[in-house]
Amino acid sequence: MSTRSVLQEADISRALTRIAHEILESNRGAHDLVLLGIPTRGTTLAHRLALLIESIAQEPVGVGSLDVTLFRDDLAKHPTRSPHPTQIPAGGIDGKTVVLVDDVLFSGRSIRAALDAIQSIGRPAAVRLAILIDRGHRELPIRPDFVGKNIPSARTERVNVRLFENDGAEEVTIGE
């Protein structure tokens, strides 16, 4: 089984910095911006992006996590998923621009579930999608607004994102 590294720590840092700038440009600043990470690594990335955005814009950014487990359409196939807590910033999401943050975009099913989960919480002015890795193979018509890196892959390959906060290492690998 061969595994190859496609991003290292510096690459991930550059990608997140670029995404932070793109989010600020798209939103015309940090006003009414909320970042919601999809657990587990999406939440870590959302917190990192919030720190970057705050350092650039000199404005606070709402950041939280959005558990999509109960909104997934594949629970019958994967019943062992354990829910993570949903944490919405104190100001809520109504009327705000919500940026969903996740590590890898593959079929689009997690993002569809996230859109359903958001509807159960409130009514944002807009929802955007920031992804560290877009690997293709969409099953639903979902397209990210902000992408760290496009990595073409075979359906049988696995893209692994490892972050210091979760895994003690910082890299993206792809393998069988």
Tens of pLDDT, residue by residue over 41-78, are 999 999 999 999 999 999 999 999 999 988 877 666 66
User: Given pLDDT bands bounded at 50, 70 and 90, which one contains residue 79?
Assistant: low
Would you say residue 86 lies in a domain?
no
CA torsion sign for 155, 82, 66, 116 is positive
Would you say residue 53 lies in a domain?
yes
Would you say residue 52 lies in a domain?
yes
Would you say residue 130 lies in a domain?
yes
Percent of the chain predicted with pLDDT > 90: 85
In the chain, how many domains are there?
1
Residues 6-50 pLDDT 10s: 999 999 999 999 999 999 999 999 999 999 999 999 999 999 999
Phi, psi of 159 (to 5 degrees): -100, 125
Mean pLDDT, rounded, of the chain: 93
Which position has the higher pLDDT, 149 or 72?
Answer: 149
The terminus-to-terminus CA distance of the chain in angstroms comes to 6
Would you say residue 88 lies in a domain?
no
Would you say residue 29 lies in a domain?
yes
| Structural domain harbouring 127 | 9-67+93-156
Supply the angle between the helices 41-57 and 9-27 in degrees, to the nearest 10: 60
Contacts of 32 (CB under 8 A, 6+ apart): 95, 96, 97, 125
d(CA 6, CA 162): 12
Would you say residue 135 lies in a domain?
yes
CATH number at residue 41: 3.40.50.2020
Would you say residue 145 lies in a domain?
yes
